[in-house]
A = this chain, B = another copy of it.
Amino acid sequence: MSDTTAERPRSAAQEARIDLSHGSGGRAMRDLVNDVFLSAFANPALAALEDQARIPLADLCVAGDRLAFTTDSYVVDPLFFPGGDIGELAVNGTVNDLAVSGAVPLYLSCGVILEEGFALADLRRIVESMARAAEAAGVQIVTGDTKVVPKGAADKLFIHTSGVGAIPAGVEIAAGRARPGDRILVNGFIGDHGVAILAARGDLALQVPIESDTRPLNGLVRALLDACPQVHCLRDATRGGLATVLNEFAESAGVCMEFEEAAIPVRDEVRGVSEILGLDPLYYANEGVLVAIVPESCADRALAAMRAHPAGAQAASIGEVTAEPAGRVVMRSGFGGGRIVDMLIGEQLPRIC
């Protein structure tokens, strides 16, 4: 196939581009929705072509007693990067924002803002990636929206996904529940997504073989909750990185998060790039990093359960919750010293997700 495409002119399908009529609400939009979205996301709620999905509340009630509802928009640049693309990111990110409440993620929405002239083939590739990610995470994309703006009014493509899920009865996970004595766990390497995006933009003079860690965390959260139903706090460390999540926990609970620098899983390549650029891996965005605060009584069981799951093979216990200094995060180095680690101030890298 590749040798013949090199010799013949690009086919009409390859050159097809989004135009303003695809956002008109009329025939062209309907055809695009049918052709690209409905075929990829195939499910009855979406296929009904109503302005809203309709789902029996009983389907949620069998999974839990509370609705979890979240939203995110995705503006990552570039759209395709090592280890993933904006479509996969948009599904996994919203799945993860549901999962960290302990919810079973169930249904997602998908809205796209397209720049006039965007290649239809790229849209199709992104939507198919969303469909695969949804299947992998066990969720359905049941409602959507398509807007097109004139050339120059948006940069190629933005996606927004919202999600609903059900939180099982008895699960009580909140940032404010961290208590002195609790253990701090992470599921794996930090910084991969940030460095992968940096590398994909060509901002690095050097080649770095790092892929984004984008992945759904709901399976891992389920395994963790099975092993330790009393998990106190869970969050995925996206924008702002691990340092920002730990600060959020510390501030919400009025406790101190104390961790060992040497215990943080960081790949050598990520560490190397960070040293060259003068960036701190603690602030890199991640797309598959789970931070868990668990009571000491089940910390070892929780860690073992995470390590037994594919998304937690590099899980580590990185520190513990202490009483003082309240509201702060303290990093201990090998020399026994400690320094306060603040939230991200300023901006390390725009359009990271």
Chain A positions within 8 Å of B, measured between CB atoms, are: 19-21, 23-30, 48-58, 60-61, 64-75, 77, 97-98, 100-101, 103, 107, 109-113, 142-145, 147-150, 152-155, 158, 160, 162-164, 166-167, 174-175, 235-236, 238-241, 244, 248, 252, 283, 285, 342-348, 350-351
Query: Which single member of B57, B98, B144, B158 contacts A71 (CB below 8 Å)?
Result: B144
What are 16 A-B pairs with beta-carbon distances under 8 A?
A19-B347, A27-B345, A28-B347, A49-B175, A49-B252, A52-B100, A52-B101, A52-B163, A53-B68, A54-B68, A54-B167, A55-B69, A57-B65, A73-B113, A75-B113, A149-B155
Q: Are B52 and A350 in contact (CB under 8 A)?
A: no
Decide: A346 and B68 in contact? CB cutoff 8 A: no
Give the interface SS of chain A, mostly helix, strand, loop or mixed: mixed
A107 contact set on B, CB distance < 8 A: 69
| Assembled-state Cα–Cα distance A244/B26 (Å) | 6
Task: Give chain B nearest CB distance to A54 CB in angstroms.
Answer: 5
**Known contacts A51-B97, A57-B64; A348 and B71 CB within 8 A of each other:** no
Q: How far is the CA of A51 from the CA of B100 in the complex (A)?
A: 8
Residues of the B chain whose Cβ atoms lie less than 8 Å from the Cβ of A239: 23-26, 29
Within the assembled complex, what's the spacing in Å between the Cα atoms of A100 and B49? 13
Contacts of A235 in B (CB 8 A): 51
A68 contacts which chain B residues (CB < 8 A)? 52-54
Contacts of A346 in B (CB 8 A): 21, 24, 26, 28
Question: From A19, which residue of chain B is reached at the shortest CB distance?
Answer: B347
Residues on B with beta carbons closer than 8 Å to the beta carbon of A149: 75, 155, 350-351
Smallest CB–CB gap between A89 and chain B, Å?
12
Name the distance in Å between A28's Cβ and chain B's nearest Cβ. Answer: 7
Check A70 against B49 for contact (C-beta < 8 Å): no
Task: Give, as a whole number of angstroms, the nearest-CB distance from A224 to chain B.
Answer: 16
A60 in complex: contacting residue of B57, B109, B350, CB < 8 Å: B57
**Across chains A and B, which 5 residue pairs bring their CB atoms closest together, nearest first?**
A25-B239, A26-B344, A25-B240, A162-B162, A71-B109
Other A-B contacts than A49-B175, A73-B160, 14 sampled, CB-CB below 8 A, are: A19-B347, A24-B348, A26-B347, A27-B343, A51-B100, A52-B97, A55-B69, A57-B66, A61-B61, A69-B143, A74-B147, A113-B113, A150-B350, A160-B162
Q: Which residues of B contact A163 (CB under 8 A)?
A: 52
Evaluate contact between B73 and A24: CB separation under 8 angstroms. Answer: no
Q: Which residues of B contact A252 (CB under 8 A)?
A: 49
Q: Known: A148-B350, A160-B111. Is A51-B70 also a contact (CB below 8 A)? A: yes
Given the complex, which residues of B lie within 8 Å of A150, measured CB to CB?
Answer: 350-351
The reply to whether B154 and A158 contact each other, CB–CB distance below 8 Å, is yes
B52 lies within 8 A of A57 (CB) = no
A109 to B71 alpha-carbon distance, docked (Å): 6
